[in-house]
Structure 1
Amino acid sequence: MSDRIEYGNLMHAAMRGLIRTVLSDVAADGLPGDHHFFITFDTTHPEAQMADWLRQRYPTEITVVLQHWYDHLSVDEDGFSVTLNFGDSPEPLYIPFDAIRTFVDPSVEFGLRFETQDSDEEEDEDDDGPEQPGPDANGGSAGPGEAQVVSLDKFRK
């Protein structure tokens, strides 16, 4: 047993559990109302699966959108798989929850951001807040990281 409570790790596990629950519900029932998700993930994660051409185009991270067209959404304990359309080319992806850097649902101004310790120092120097993934359906995005809670106010418009 550790001599301290690891609140950061517990919070990250809870946030990833929230994402797992939301995606499981969407896999079962579809996206309700105007909900849609911008998900940025680390393409270098050893368990992330994607086409070689996508990994070459997005060597560190990519932001994907689950909104109008997605297929075969399936969620397991460690991540989710989905087929998305990249320029009229359907491509299957597997995204481990540990690879997710940001999860945003702009329809309700909700967002989570995971950051590494290294990026905390960078943010102290340039603290303009997190960049919200843009509307590009399947393009790259900024936002280094692995785990940190960010105020939801920063995602409000």
Structure 2
Amino acid sequence: MPATIDYGKLMHGAMRGLIREVLEGVRDAGLPGEHHFFITFDTMHPDVEIADWLSDRYPGEMTVVMQHWFDDLDVTEDGFAVTLNFGDSPERLYIPYLAIRTFVDPSVEFGLRFDGPDTADDDADLPPADMIELDGDEDEGAPPPGKREAEVVSLDKFRK
């Protein structure tokens, strides 16, 4: 048994498992209610598979939206593939969970953020992931009266 418990590595694994479980539910039953996802990922991750024109246009990171139109969602242990529409041009993408930087469902003010580079072999040296709390609709600019701006809540404040 190791000398210490690596909570950071365990937390990253659990959060990736949560994303996988959510996507499996969407694959099996579709998006319920107003749920939709903003998924930001590292386009340079070695296991990401996207069209050359997308990697040229987004050489560092890219955010995709799964909401009104997506097709052929395939969820695996290591990542997911989905066909999305880019200006009436359907494109197939494969995004490994290790490439995801943020996963946000603004309809229920939920989000995850993974800070730092992720590699399949070296998860132990990663900084911790943060939860993202959203208030209001990001796409509408200023929040309505009585609503706060979006804020990031860092788990660091709970560490000793």
Contact map agreement 2:113 2:131 (CA 8 A) in 1: no
Could you tell me which residue of structure 2 aligns to residue 51 of structure 1?
51
Within 5 Å, give how 1:36-75 maps onto structure 2. 36-75=36-75
User: Higher relative contact order by CA 8 Å / sep ≥ 6: 1 or 2?
Assistant: 1
Aligned with 1:156 (options 106, 124, 135): 135
Which 5+ residue runs of structure 2 have no aligned equivalent? 118-125, 137-160
State the 1:2 CA deviation.
2.6
Could you tell me which residue of structure 2 aligns to residue 91 of structure 1?
91
> Quick check: which has more Rg, 1 or 2?
2
Could you tell me which residue of structure 1 aligns to residue 80 of structure 2?
80
Give the share of equivalent positions with the same residue, in percent: 65
* 1:147 to 1:27, Cα distance in 2 relative to 1, 3 A: farther
Within 5 Å, give how 1:1-157 maps onto structure 2. 1-116=1-116, 148-152=128-132, 154-157=133-136
TM-score with structure 1 setting the length? 0.78
Deviations 1:83-132 (A, max 9, x none): 00111110000000000000000000000000018xxxxxxxxxxxxxxx
| Separation of aligned partners in 1, 2:75 and 2:43 | 18
Deviations 1:51-101 (A, max 9, x none): 000000001110000000000001000000000011111000000000000
| Separation of aligned partners in 2, 1:80 and 1:151 | 21
Q: Give the alignment's Cα RMSD to 1 decimal.
A: 1.4
Contact map agreement 1:16 1:97 (CA 8 A) in 2: yes
Runs ≥4 in structure 1, deviation > 4 angstroms? Answer: none
Alignment length (residue pairs): 128
Contact map agreement 2:50 2:93 (CA 8 A) in 1: yes
| Separation of aligned partners in 2, 1:156 and 1:149 | 20
